[in-house]
Structure 1
Amino acid sequence: MTNRETVIDLASFQAGLTVQDYKNIGATKAIVKISENTNYVNPCIRSLIDRSVGGGVNGFAFYHFGRFYNDSAAVAEANYFIANAKRYANVQPGTLLILDAEIKGMPTSSVIAFLQTLRNAGYHTGFYTYKFLLPQFNLEEIHKYANFFWLAAYPLGDQPGPRVPDFNYFPSANYVDCWQHTDNLLGYKVDGSITLTDNAIKLFNPSEVKAEASKPVVKPQGTPKSFYDDLGVCWYFEKGKFTVTVDEGIVLRWGATTNSSKIGVLPKGSVVKYDAFCHSGGYVWIRQPRGNGQFGYLPTGESSGGKRTSTWGKFE
């Protein structure tokens, strides 16, 4: 029997959800919006990933809201999707990338052109639409180019939807891997879906996507010497240099967690200029400005109870 898992899809509308909200929702998989057309990128990608990971999500896929009406525009949007998924979510080959097709008049040939572009770039492909739009598409043809079919069908209204839907309302259609059964899961104003096949669960590969630290939201604490990031970690402003002294070197990451993706390993003798530090996850981290509003994060030793217990380098 297929294991049913709760899936949520996340866009900027869900930017206000907290780690505790995600824990209350209880989803294990998430599909994060990357882009729309060729002129919009979701500004909350990293914070949505970070917070949902903190709330129990352990696998991700990503989607693009299609606005195209011909094949050439479809290819352009697919390439825009790929580029921004790489840039903001560090997607790797084999990641599930999904087309959100919910505008009228989108040709089946253009859907296929979009999916082919994703597949040619090494990604698993997914197709999403609403039950009432399904007749405008040739699903049999699309299925040849899609690894995953996600179908939305739910009653209108503001009533909170349950975590486990009433399958008496399941829409009859072929190839459905995931059913979006509510647009207001448990009252949190987030779309809720449920997996229907083992194929769906397999495609949400948790090893391919790591939580990234988003830009910190500055919250003055009487003085401007500290701030909290999106995960509620308190950082302290401090400028300095750190020299790695351990023989094995230290991994520099895109976020201040050991799950964050690697930038590279800094060998012994490397010098890092930093502008802030924090105690988080059993380590003392420093933040390295890297230009264009980006930061690298380096653990510099172990921490317990807000106090350093070891150091892997020299400060100056």
Structure 2
Amino acid sequence: MALYTVDVFSGSDDSIICDSHAQGVIVKATQGTGYVNPRCNHQWDLAGQLGKLRGLYHYAGGGNPESEAQYFINNIKNYVGQGILILDWESYQNFAWGNTNWARRFVDEVHRLTGVWCVIYVQESALWQVANCANTCGAWVAKYASMNWNSWTLPNMNVSSGVFKFLTGWQYTGGDMDRSIFYLDEAGWKKLANPTGGEVKVESKPAPAPVNNSPETWTDSLGDKWTAESGTFTTNQPINLRWGAKTSSALITTLPAGSEIKYDAYSRHDGFVWLRQPRSNTQYGYLVCRDANTNEPFGTFK
């Protein structure tokens, strides 16, 4: 048996939670040690009122993993045992991306505090980064046929579970909404949320103060703040590459879908998240990679 789910964050419309196809709803709760989804309680309650299975996820910021685990649990402690707990392991805004021990430390701390093992959300190509969690955690793998697969029908494609014995879940589209299939029945979902079936007691531990793990930042001559970050962005649609980080800046070229761009910094301004591409002769190109209001990406990161 399988369950179909959606996952939501602060910018998600309630209609996604209400979609009749979704049997489960996974809500973003926290990120790093300084962000709580302001709509988390509303989204959690709405899903419950509709009789849907629920989950909560923490988006890794890449700071101290024990502190982030404590921050997550301290903010959702009243819900522990009622929904599955998930670590969202992605490259964007994650300063520990590539660290193969970070997730292990995070899930160990969550388990110490709650007795519950997290499911780990990760793109298929990065399963190796969380491989040492395979003996205790489930894998929820992201792999899309395309960003325009706006359907509840599963695409015909293979998805690896890496060293995990099997896939717990597969997120197969991220266009108009994030749709996933979990290879569980309702009892299996509830078992992940509350392994003993009894009252879940959360260890009392004060929330840690936000930890400053920020990399180098600077403000350019136009007043826009930039943050150093190295990565590769692959476009999922045609995107303009410009000589400046403004939609009015001179055009270098239009990148076709599937273009890979190496970047060394990002900035959130004027309604977009911008990336900076190092070029020859100490010059830079700039392109948008995400809608800053909805957080919708225009491609994938690694």
TM-score, scaled to structure 1: 0.53
Counterpart among 166, 169, 172 of residue 178 in structure 1: 169
Counterparts in 2 of 1:105 and 1:45: CA distance versus 1, 3 Å: closer
Is the 2:147–2:174 Cα contact (8 Å) retained in structure 1? Answer: no
Which residue in 1 is equivalent to 2:125? 132
Kept after mapping to 1: 8 A contact 2:85/2:118: yes
Name 2:154's counterpart in structure 1: 165
Distance apart, 1:102 and its partner CA: 0.8
Shift of 1:49: 1.8
Matched, 1:102 2:87: no
Check conservation: 2:84, 2:190, Cα contact below 8 A: no
Deviations 1:200-233 (A, max 9, x none): 4642569999xxxxxxxxxxxxxxxxxxxxxxxx
1:113 matched to which residue of 2? 105
- Partner residue in 2 for 1:60: 54
Q: Give how far 1:95 is off.
A: 4.7
Matched pairs, number: 188
Which residue of 2 is the match for residue 193 of structure 1?
180
Distance in 1 of aligned mates of 2:60 and 2:11: 18
Amino acid at match of 2:7: D
TM-score by length of 2: 0.56
The 1:34–1:9 alpha-carbon spacing in structure 2 relative to 1, beyond 3 Å, is: same
Gaps (5+ residues) in structure 2?
201-302
Query: Partner letter of residue 119 of structure 2?
Result: G
Larger Rg computed on CA atoms: 1
Contact 1:91–1:208 under 8 Å retained in 2: no
Q: What are the within-5 Å matches in structure 2 for residues 232-247 of structure 1?
A: none
Q: For the residues of structure 1 that align with 2:199 and 2:144, how far apart are their CA atoms?
A: 31
Q: Once the two structures are superposed, what CA deviation does each residue of 1:150-194 show, in whole Å capped at 9, x if it has no partner? A: 11101333341x22313x21312242111101113xxxx321101
What SS does structure 1 have at the residue aligned with 2:111?
A: helix
Contact 2:100 2:130 in 1 (8 A): yes
Structure 1 residue ranges without an equivalent (≥5): 210-316
Matching residue of 2:4:
6
Match for residue 17 of structure 1?
14
| Contact 1:95-1:208 at 8 Å conserved across structures | no
User: In structure 2, do the counterparts of structure 1 residues 54 and 23 end up closer, same or farther at CA, with 3 Å as the change threshold?
Assistant: same
1:82 to 2:73 alignment: yes
